[in-house]
Structure 1
Amino acid sequence: MARHGWGGRPPANEEEARQRIIDATAGLIDRHGVAKTTLSDVAAELGVTRQTVYRHLGSISEIVSVVAARGAEDFVDRMVSHLEGSRSPADAVVEGILFCLRTVPNDPRLNLLLQLGDTATFSRAATSPVMLGYGSAMLRRFPVDWADAGVSDDDLDGLAEMIMRLLISLLDSSTEVPRPEDEVRALLERWLVPALTRS
């Protein structure tokens, strides 16, 4: 590892170098937004060259994707904690969707997913096999008994896709006024809850 740059404290190994680049990028995004964060900015923040940053993590879009993914992991932890005490899988899904609608637009790390291109790009990314796999893994962490609602482990993949598609629509920033939460809750309780309630 080179001894110059890095604010006089060079990283001990590759993992530490990557983590410091990610942390610096996250800090810049929090302060200036993703549109005003460049590879040069990250390099300057760390006191290294652009080539050094590129060697460890690649392009700024790759680094921003890592920042967004780590923000999503923290978000899932917060959501699971929020859902503790849910009465049923249906209740957890409704509260989880409402939690997303409250949290995602105001969270700079999660909002990266919405800022990385236009709505169509976000829609494709959010329903990619990787994101749907992530969504079903998130549902498996919900503190509920899915079998009690007649939802099998295999069914969680389809449920994750439906939730992601619904969230894309509800988070669409092109609408002038976001729908009030009580209206969204009523919509979910009328059409989604019956599908998650054993008759």
Structure 2
Amino acid sequence: MLTDGWEDSTPVDDTSTIDRIVEVAAELIEADESVSVRRVAQRSGVPRETVYRYFSGADSIVLATAESAAAEFLLELSARLREIVSPADAVVEGIAITIEQLRANQRFALMFNAAGRSRYLDEVTSPEAIGLGRSIIDEVGVDWHAQGWNDADLDELVEFMLRTLQSFIVDPGEPARSGADLRLYLRRWVAPAVAAGAGAANPIEVANIHPEAD
């Protein structure tokens, strides 16, 4: 529901002003309304000139809104995975929860939807994305190092998870899997790769499969 009466409470500093702008943009997105500087200014009671002081335009407001929603979701995801001690279970549940939340939360989905694909989806395995994924993996209940995973292994695992997630975003399937069906699919095809563990294929083994030409 869109918030009325923002004019009754004037933001007192930069942080509260930005928060209000982002909150109003989130309400517009959830109501399936377009985000514009004019509309955000009207709904928030913040003058357009002030909105432009913090954001270059509607696109930057939408990006800030998506990033805010993503940050909220990542905190929730970390909490839900914290008690899982199996690497395969953590990866399967992490991917499944993320896919489901992308479909349920329009703000978070903005980071990856088709309309913004050229802007955001190409960066899904960027160093920043890998670092963010590691911050989640490091918080789960798995003792990665005790199970033979080093930092390089974990970075590759996060990349694998992000690429898997990317494929579901680009082509969710018909019909799109969800719930138990989604987890069964991931457990059948993704879990075995994770269960193989770190160092499943070392450089020597790969070289034997694909010898370099003389």
Same fold (TM over 0.5): yes
Give 1:48's aligned residue.
46
Q: Which has the higher helix share?
A: 1
Residue aligning to 2:194:
192
- 1:164 alignment partner AA: L
Secondary structure of the equivalent of 1:164?
A: helix
CA contact (8 A) 1:90 1:196 kept: no
Matched, 1:61 2:59: yes
User: What amino acid sits opposite 1:194 in the alignment?
Assistant: A
CA distance 1:139–1:69, shift in 2 (3 Å): same
Say whether residues 1:168 and 2:166 are aligned partners.
yes
**Is 1:80–1:143's contact at 8 Å kept on the other side of the alignment?**
no
Identity of aligned residues (%): 29
**Post-superposition offset of 1:52:** 1.7
Q: 1:39 to 1:134 in 2, by over 3 A?
A: same
Q: Is the 8 Å Cα contact of residues 85 and 140 (structure 2) preserved in structure 1?
A: no
Per the TM alignment, residue 43 of structure 1 is displaced from its structure 2 partner at its CA by: 0.7
Tell me the secondary structure at the aligned position of residue 103 of structure 2.
helix
Q: How many residues align?
A: 192
Shift of residue 165, structure 1, vs aligned partner: 1.0
Q: Larger Cα Rg: Structure 1 or Structure 2?
A: 2
CA–CA separation in structure 1 for the residues paired with 2:94 and 2:164: 12
Cα displacement string for residues 73-113 of structure 1 (whole angstroms, at most 9, x for unaligned residues): 22122222222331322221121112112221111221111
Letter in 1 for 2:22: I
Q: In the superposition, relative to structure 1, how do residues 129 and 121 fare at CA in structure 2: closer, same or farther (>3 Å)?
A: same
Q: Which deviates more from structure 2 when the two are superposed, residues 148-157 or residues 88-97?
A: 148-157
For residue 81 of structure 2, what is the amino acid of its counterpart?
L
Q: In 1, distance between residues paired with 2:105 and 2:53?
A: 29
| TM superposition shift of 1:158 | 2.1
Q: Distance in 1 between matches of 2:186 and 2:167?
A: 12
- Residue in 1 aligned with 2:79? 81
Question: Pick from 123, 126, 138: which aligns with 2:124?
Answer: 126
Matches within 5 A, 1:139-150: 139-150=137-148
In structure 2, what residue type is equivalent to 1:21? I
Match of 2:15 in 1: 15
Alignment match of 1:109 (pick from 94, 102, 107): 107
Secondary structure of the corresponding residue to residue 115 of structure 2: coil
Aligned mates of 1:78, 1:186 — CA distance in 2:
26
Q: CA deviation at 1:42?
A: 0.4
Which blocks of at least 5 consecutive residues in structure 2 are unaligned? 1-5, 201-214
What is the Cα-based RMSD across aligned positions, in Å? 2.5
The answer on whether the counterparts of 1:98 and 1:185 sit within 8 Å (CA) in structure 2 is: no
Match for 1:184: what amino acid? L
Moved more, 168-177 or 140-149: 168-177
Amino acid at match of 1:191: A
Other-structure match for 1:153: 151
1:161: Cα distance to partner?
Answer: 1.4
